[in-house]
Amino acid sequence: MASKQSANTESRGHTAPVPPEPHENPTVGIAPSREENIGQKRLADFDLEGRVFIVTGGARGLGLSLAEALVETGGKVYCLDREERPDEDWNEAARRAERCGGSLHYCQQDVQDTEGLDKTIEAIADKHQQLDGVIAAAGVQQICPAMKYTHEDITRIMDINYTGVMMTASAAARQMFKYKCHGSMCFIASMSGQVANKGLISPVYNSSKAAVIQLARNLAMEWSPIRKDGTGGIRVNCISPGHILTPMVLKNFEEVPGLREKWEAANMMGRLAETTEFKGAALFLLSNASSFMTGSNLIIDGGHTSW
């Protein structure tokens, strides 16, 4: 198989691309400087004033909470979602954003529409002449026994949960390379990418999240080094939440009686998470506070996967 692939590459007259060597392209210049008097400004490493971010799946739930974390520290945040208009909570978040020095904007954009997604992200970057980071939080779930999944079911879930993340990251990276922005990306994976969910049959969702974790590692390898022309320097990490009280999970509880109690008993804290409990992690990963972190998966699950 390897020799055939090599022959095909040669026949097209192309040289196979290779990732940049980190030791030849070190990611320097993004760590906080010793000359910066951090003590004069509280939590300066987390300051996002003047930076521009995109959050997919930002109309409600976890995506909206993570967007708020960036806004509250001065970021200009664009929430992308397929809904015609965002949840009522989004309007309140936008009002609070004005008091925090940041700004919150909404764009109707389905991550499955890759051409439209690319144009939307390009327009945002061109407007500000920069793009500093992305949180890819758009995702769907389907409870279904493995033998009853159709090809269409699988394609739809993977198209949103995996391909949507890949296309969001690629579109954003093109703009970050264009404007030579050394920023950060955070993919919302799940502890379900590492373990099966007790009491819930969702093999395709779980598989898609495992794929997202692996995708982050590979994009981190490719984009973290800074090239000679100043491009690159994009850190890529994941957050893998445990069970959260989101609209999607509340729907699961309606479909599977007793599931909430089962999940609450499955972690070390005896409860499920609120969306607000992931804001600090998102801020950490999108700010200078995590300047030496890339290709990692931050598990926040109340101890679920620790026993």
Q: What is the pLDDT of residues 207-226, one digit of tens each?
A: 999 999 999 999 999 999 99
Q: What are phi and psi of 57, to 5 degrees?
A: 70, 30
Pairwise CA distance, residues 299 & 238, whole Å: 8
Q: Is it the case that residue 11 has pLDDT exceeding 50?
A: no
209 is catalytic: yes
Q: CA-CA distances (angstroms) from residue 174 to 49, 69, 150, 226, 266?
A: 23, 25, 34, 14, 41
Pairwise CA distance, residues 158 & 147, whole Å: 17
Among the listed residues 78, 106, 162, 209, the single catalytic one is 209
Which range (9-13, 185-189, 202-206, 258-262) has the least confidence?
9-13
Under a CB-based contact definition with an 8 Å cutoff, are residues 67 and 80 in contact?
A: no
Point out which residues pair with 79 in neighbouring strands.
55, 106
Two tokens, residue 113: 């529409």
- Over residues 61-80, the pLDDT tens digits come to 999 999 999 999 999 999 99
Two tokens, residue 190: 């799940």
Confidence of residue 96 (pLDDT cuts 50, 70, 90): confident
Among the listed residues 78, 106, 162, 205, the single catalytic one is 205
CATH superfamily of 46-243+275-301: NAD(P)-binding Rossmann-like Domain (3.40.50.720)
205 is catalytic: yes
Domains in the chain: boundaries = 46-243+275-301
Which range (89-93, 113-117, 201-205, 257-261) has the least confidence?
89-93
Mean pLDDT of the chain: 90
